[in-house]
Every structure is written in C-alpha cells, then in structure tokens.
Amino acid sequence: MKLQEFENIKFVDGGVCAAKGFRANGIQCGLAHAGAHVTKKKNDLALIVADKECTAAAVYTTNKVKGAPILVTKEHIKDGKARAVIVNSVNANTCNADGVEKAQKMCALAAAELGINENDVIVASTGVIGQVLPIEPIANGMKALAEGLSYDGNPRAVEAIMTTDTMPKEAAVQFEMGGKTCTMGGMLKGSGMIHPNMATTLTFITTDADISAELLQRALSDVVKLTLNRVSVDGDTSTNDMVCVLASGTAENTPVTKENADFEIFENALYALMVNFARMMARDGEGATKLIECAVTGAETEKIAETVAKSVITSSLFKAAMFGEDANWGRILCAIGYADADFDISQVDVKIASEKGAIEVCKNGAGVDFSEEKAKEILGEEVINIIVSIGNGGGKAVAWGCDLTYDYVKINGDYRS
C-alpha cells in the first residue's frame, strides 16, 4: 500500500531508529507460541532506548478495563520524562491480580540492564487478556535484548509487537524546523479489536526534535483525534491501547516551547506519520482485503462530519458489501442516516472511487443510474474511497476502516489456540 505523501515532508527508512540517538532490538524470549495465526515462533520482546533523557507524552485507551502496563506507564511519565520502552506481545498482562507488580518488574529488569532509573522506563504489553504473564522468560531474555540494541534494530523490534498483524507497520519522516533537519519515526501494531476511542494499537514514536513535554503532549493529543481515533475494524476498543512519543532534542533545533510556527510544523509532521499509521492499521484489519477511506464534507461542523464518516466505516453490512465488491449504496446511506448528527438527508451525495475511477451512486439522498460493471471494477481495487457530501458547511473529516471477511470470524473464533 502506498504511503500518503505530504508537502514539505520526506519519508525515510528506519522506523523508531530513524531519529538520531535511538536504538532498538527485539528477541524471542519464550512467550510466543505457534498457533492458529503464528506459523513460526517470532520475536515477542522489544526494547527501545534513547542515548539521553527525553521529553515524553502518551495517550491511552478509554476502556474502563486498563492493562497493568498503562497504570505503571502513567505513573512513570507524569514528570514528562522517559528514556526507554520495554514491550512484550502474546500476553496483555490485563485483569491479573499481579499485573502491576509484573509491569513494574519489567521496568526494573530493563533499567538494571541499561543502567538507568526504572521510573524512566515505559512499559507496554499486548496479547491475550486474563492470562498471568510469566516474568521468567522476560527476565532470562533481558541481557540478550539489551546487548543486541542497535541503531538499525527497528525490524527486530517491530516484529516483537505483532500479534495477528500480517505485516510490520513502521514509517519515518524528515522535516525542517528551527533551522535544523528533524526526524520522527515509529512503529505500531494493530489488526483486531480496533475501534475509535482509541483504535486498538501499541504505537511507539521517537523524534530528535527539541520540544517541551507540555507541547509534545498537546501535539500528540491533537493528532490522535484526527488519525488513530478515526480507525475502526470491528467495533471493539482494547484494554491496552497506548501511543507514546519520546523526543530527545538531539537535532538541536530551536526548542519548541510555545505554540508558534515551529509547533505547527511539528504537529504537521506527526500528522503525516500517524495518518499513514492509521491507513496501515485499517488495511491490515483481521482478515481484511481492502482499505476503506470515507471522506465527508459539507457538514456544519467537523464533529458532525467525523460522526458520519465513522458511522459509514463501522457498518457491518457496508463492510460486508465491500468484501463482495457490491455497490450496495443503500447500506452507505443507511449508515449515514443513523449517525448521531444533525444534517439534511436530502442534501446527501455519495460517490465511490478507487484508482479505477469514480462514479456517483446517490444524489440529494436518492439513487441515480450508474454502471454496475464500472462499480465492480472500482470496488475490485485494494483502496476504496467513499466520498460523501452532506451540505454546504465547512466541516470535513476522514475515517478509515476495512472490509468484513470470512477470515475475521476464523481468526477470532480460535484466537487463544
């Protein structure tokens, strides 16, 4: 899938290691297992480390049930500082009586091996909920994990956070700010149990830009609302969602300490990175064959446009139609119609589009004649665009989803196998 490009933003290689002064590694410590979706034992433990202390920011799941690592990470970065991230897959360390103790132990093990304070370590876990996390494999693997850290270790790290993901998801961008070239890169996992508020993901972003912790948090909170919070695969919001950003300042740009032009540049770079993460995650939805992007314009407010776009991409009937490459536009209009938003349905226009072209299927809330053959050709592509206009207002928004396939049920029917 092609990356979505942005003006004044250059995409580069390296993921979480692209920015100056960040090392990473991933190993197979013994948590991973061969099962229904794991054909071979893969890396299951990752470490990201900065050469110097960083400003840090994070956002977390809105689920009332929260993984123990989230509780520990919140405490560790309340001072706006961090230096390392330790993360495992396979086991979510959620709903366990000893969960916090195990999460704290992971931080302590990493800190001891790195020679840093354990309160400067972010911890995250992903995998099966409600199973006790064995700490012994993590403890036994920590020395090798730390010794293998390198400035090009991102491929090993990103493999370690994958669960039902079918592909590694990483990207990096460069941009000019404060008289210097700054770099920002990251990696994420997410394939199922994905729904706005946040989309289910563990996302780790690093940058060598110099920015205060307060503004780093503001930028992250702003951009998540426009990207990961607009992705849905299956309507389920995870217990372990976390997005964190570490900023080292080694690019030596003029420090960003107020909302000025440099802050806007930083936010735009973060958006460019995270909108591509959103698209990657939707495309790799469990069992998915298509990325669906719904763009809504003409709303009275951005919130109304967002609500309508989310309503379309979360409709199971619409998602199933996209899998069948069926231009059943009535399902789109149905989803628009039950969106919890105020607009005039008689002003709604709908087009479907892809690299094969575009056709209008609905005008002023009613169907129009169109070629079913052309529609089938358009819907045969990997990326499908649903273009909706609901009036003459200035509000607009985009949301991302995927088709609903037989494989989604198969994957989730034996997830613990």
Q: Are residues 161 and 58 in the same domain?
A: yes
Q: Are residues 54 and 146 in the same domain?
A: yes
The set of catalytic residues is 200
Residue 146 lies inside a defined structural domain of this protein = yes
Residue matched to tokens 């013994």: 30
What is the tally of structural domains in the chain?
2
User: Which domain CATH number covers 218?
Assistant: 3.60.70.12
Q: Are residues 119 and 232 in the same domain?
A: yes
Instruction: Point out the domain boundary residue: 283, 316, 334.
Output: 283
Using DSSP, how many helices (H) and how many strands (E) does the chain show? 11, 15
Q: Are 319 and 325 in contact (CB under 8 A)?
A: no
Pairing between strand 291-299 and 383-389? parallel
Instruction: Point out the domain boundary residue: 283, 311, 327.
Output: 283
Sequence-distant (≥ 6) Cβ neighbours of residue 371 within 8 angstroms:
359
Rounded Cα distance between 284 and 66, Å, is 24
Residue 201 lies inside a defined structural domain of this protein = yes
b/e per residue 245-280 (b: at least 16 CB within 10 A): bbbbbbbebeebeeeeebbebbbbbbbbbbbbbbbb
User: Which domain CATH number covers 369?
Assistant: 3.10.20.340
pTM over 0.85: yes
Residue matched to tokens 């105020």: 342
Q: Are residues 189 and 89 in the same domain?
A: yes
Residue 5 lies inside a defined structural domain of this protein = no
Residue 28 lies inside a defined structural domain of this protein = yes
Q: Are residues 110 and 252 in the same domain?
A: yes
Q: Are residues 119 and 140 in the same domain?
A: yes
Q: Are residues 268 and 344 in the same domain?
A: no
Q: Are residues 107 and 234 in the same domain?
A: yes
Q: Are residues 273 and 295 in the same domain?
A: no
Sequence-distant (≥ 6) Cβ neighbours of residue 154 within 8 angstroms:
14, 15, 16, 17, 18, 24, 170, 185, 187
Residue 156 lies inside a defined structural domain of this protein = yes
Residue 4 lies inside a defined structural domain of this protein = no
Q: Rg of the chain's alpha carbons, rounded to an integer?
A: 22
User: What residue numbers bound the domain in which 100 lies?
Assistant: 10-283
Per-residue pLDDT for the chain (417 aa), expressed as one digit of tens each? Answer: 678 889 999 999 999 999 999 999 999 999 965 444 444 578 999 999 999 999 999 999 877 888 899 999 999 999 999 999 999 999 999 999 999 999 999 999 999 999 999 999 999 999 888 899 999 999 999 999 999 999 999 999 999 999 878 889 999 999 999 999 999 999 999 765 555 666 568 999 999 999 999 999 999 999 999 999 898 765 556 677 899 999 999 999 999 999 999 999 999 999 999 999 998 888 776 667 899 999 999 999 999 999 999 999 999 899 999 999 999 999 999 999 999 999 999 999 999 999 999 999 999 999 999 999 999 999 999 999 999 999 999 999 999 998 887 766 665 555 444
